[in-house]
Amino acid sequence: MIDRLEELARRIVSREEDRRSKALAIRKEHEDFFVRVDPAVVSGRFGAVDGGLLSEEYQGFELIIVRAVGVRYTYENGTLTGVDYYPSAMPDPRIFTYDMPVEEENVGPLRSLTRLLVEIGTALDFVKNVEMNYLFLDGSILPQLVDKPRGGSSELKDLYSEVLERYRKLYAECKRRGVVLAGIVKDSKGNRVASYLGGPHLRDSVWLKYAMNVGEMTTPIPYADRPEDQATLQDLGEEIAKNVWVFYMKASDYDRPFRVEFYAEGPDLGYHLASLLLPLSSVNRTFTIPPFLLEADVRARLAKRSMAYIREYLEKRLGVEYNLFRMRGSNKPF
């Protein structure tokens, strides 16, 4: 076993050295693409929204519970002066049951769309009711291709349409109120920058950790070269599709670059966002995510005991009938 693990370790080291070499070659060829960030003295009201989800499959229905929380951090001259929550610091989760037949390929979209329904709805209400200068979503500011149902029931398609409409309303409300809408993708699986530069077919965060220096950002680029080829962008409409931008930033040698998306009529806003995010993200050298997003994550997270509580309640309430709803895999006698 030790020999096999040692061989695995050698393969990983060799692979990473190859990636480093490719990344540095791209860096040399596109030096101007990597920009030094000028950190700002942070002032303003920063909102963040995140959502947590737990789900369980039963015979005849899908049970999903979701909690979404808005957090606002207020800074004055680089000092945190206030923390507020919306609708509260620890709101009760919402419970959803779906009786519709769901094909295996649509189970993921159903769960994801339910989370987005609550999360984007909370973000929209948050912007309407709480003053802020910036609103950051935990993750992308767009629904992803994996969120789009593959055929399926009309109810599932209606759910997808409702989620898209909430996104449209959020963009419009942020624009109306002068709130900058952005998202931070902690563990991006995208290769948009590599594709843009003609680089390796790797996740951007994998090779950019070698190409970037601490305190740098990549030049903001459009979310997609051809928005019409991106299904969810096409579904949202041209006005939104053409105004979403992407860059990466590296705040520490002990963490990977993270991806930032923002909604604006041009790329220049990205440099302003980076100047604010760099000092905020450098607080923890091994987890370079702004503290207001981390707080939203902690508040929205659902403990597994939440589902256990629901399960125990239903078991007591329904008695022996409860076992008829559970999947056989959950009823094994051992």
CATH 3.30.2170 fits domain 35-302: yes
**CA within 13 Å, CB half, 184:** 30
Is the per-residue pLDDT at 331 higher than 70? Answer: no
pLDDT at site 104: 75
The pLDDT confidence band at residue 328, using thresholds 50, 70 and 90, is very low
pLDDT in tens, 201-214: 888 999 999 999 99
pLDDT in tens, 226-270: 877 788 888 898 888 889 999 999 999 999 999 999 999 999 999
The pLDDT confidence band at residue 324, using thresholds 50, 70 and 90, is very low
Mean pLDDT of 284-295: 92
Q: Report the DSSP beta bridge partners of residue 83.
A: 73
Stretch (H or E) spanning 70? strand 61-76
pLDDT in tens, 3-13: 898 898 899 89
Is the per-residue pLDDT at 59 higher than 80? Answer: no
The CA distance from 182 to 163, in Å, is 18
Rounded to the nearest integer, the mean pLDDT of the chain is 89
Mean pLDDT of 59-72: 90
Q: Give SS3 for 308.
A: helix
Is the per-residue pLDDT at 139 higher than 90? Answer: yes
The CA distance from 300 to 20, in Å, is 36
Burial class (CB in 10 A: 0-12, 13-18, 19+), 241: buried
Q: What Rg, from alpha-carbon coordinates, does the chain have?
A: 22
The CA distance from 135 to 133, in Å, is 7
**How far apart, in Å, are the Cα atoms of 21 and each of 40, 57, 211, 249, 334?**
33, 46, 9, 20, 52
pLDDT in tens, 174-193: 999 999 999 999 888 889 99
pLDDT in tens, 78-114: 999 999 999 999 999 999 988 877 777 888 888 999 9
**Is residue 224 within 8 Å of 241, Cβ to Cβ?**
yes
